[in-house]
Amino acid sequence: MTAGTSYIAASGRILIAVIFLFAGIGKIVAPTMTQNYIASAGLPFPLVAYLVAIAVEVGGGTLLALGVQTRLVAIAMAIFSVATAVGFHHDFVDQNQLMHFLKNIAITGGLLQVVAFGAGTLTIEGRRGLAKSPTATSSASVGRGHTMDSKS
């Protein structure tokens, strides 16, 4: 990965993480309102959902921004994004709900890019030499039906 693409990958991760961090902090500041909103959506166990949301948004957002366990964090956040899109933004007659649904799906797409291609080298994992680059595998094995992470 070149220096330019490393900066682009880090910028993309941080921009995605900022959305989650702001949302999580907003939930921490307004716990009752957030739990009432979760309950109004018909979801069970508003307190549990509230705590999971904070863990994913603040914890996951921080880990994503720093580049710690990035692929695992990104897949968890992608699942969370789809779940919140379906659970909270399913009334497509309401243009605002439709836009929030599509925003969540677009964020999921960005997170799946992180899962597929990694976080880049400007991460805590990269500093420790733990980051896996998708280009580490020879291009010849990719062409024969092997995945980028294949060891064979």
For 53-98, the pLDDT digits (tens) are: 999 999 999 999 999 999 999 999 999 999 999 999 999 999 999 9
> What pTM was computed for the model?
0.81
pLDDT of residue 129: 67
Indicate the pLDDT class of residue 131, thresholds 50, 70 and 90: low
* pLDDT for the residue 126: 73
Give a three-class secondary structure readout of the chain: CCHHHHHHHHHHHHHHHHHHHHHHHHHHHCHHHHHHHHHHCCCCCHHHHHHHHHHHHHHHHHHHHHCCCHHHHHHHHHHHHHHHHHHHCCCCCCHHHHHHHHHHHHHHHHHHHHHHHCCCCCCHHHHHCCCCCHHHCCHHHHHCCCCCCCCC
